[in-house]
Homo-oligomer: A and B are copies of this chain.
């Protein structure tokens, strides 16, 4: 955790450690504001700009990846490896999906173009929301 910051030549600060701690192993793909709201109680002086700055530098260093599956807001993923993201249009959650086109290993060459990065975004209805509909609307437990 601390190593990630040192590796990038960044100073260790409580704010950065807290942000990294939230991200570590997190598969919920939080936005900058999500992280800010989660930390604000423990860090009353925390600034949203600090969260943005930290996420930007982590992304620039390849330690986290930006997920731009929604049109209005960026989300962040501590797993920097290219993998498939799925947005459920019903519950609005972003999920990892364990599928990746075999013929797309980076970096690669496609018709003379050098492919260095890739995003695969899927949209639909997650199995949880499908199940809810399947069970009918007679029991309205959202």
Contacts and interface: CB of A to CB of B under 8 A. Distances in A.
Given A113-B125, A118-B120, A119-B123, 11 more contacts: A68-B68, A68-B71, A86-B110, A86-B115, A88-B113, A99-B104, A107-B124, A112-B127, A113-B122, A115-B122, A118-B121
A116 interface: yes
Nearest to A119: B121
Contacts of A117: 122-124
Given A68-B68, A71-B68, A111 B124 contact: no
B97 A113 contact: yes
A130 B112 contact: yes
A9 to B, nearest CB: 24
A110 B114 contact: no
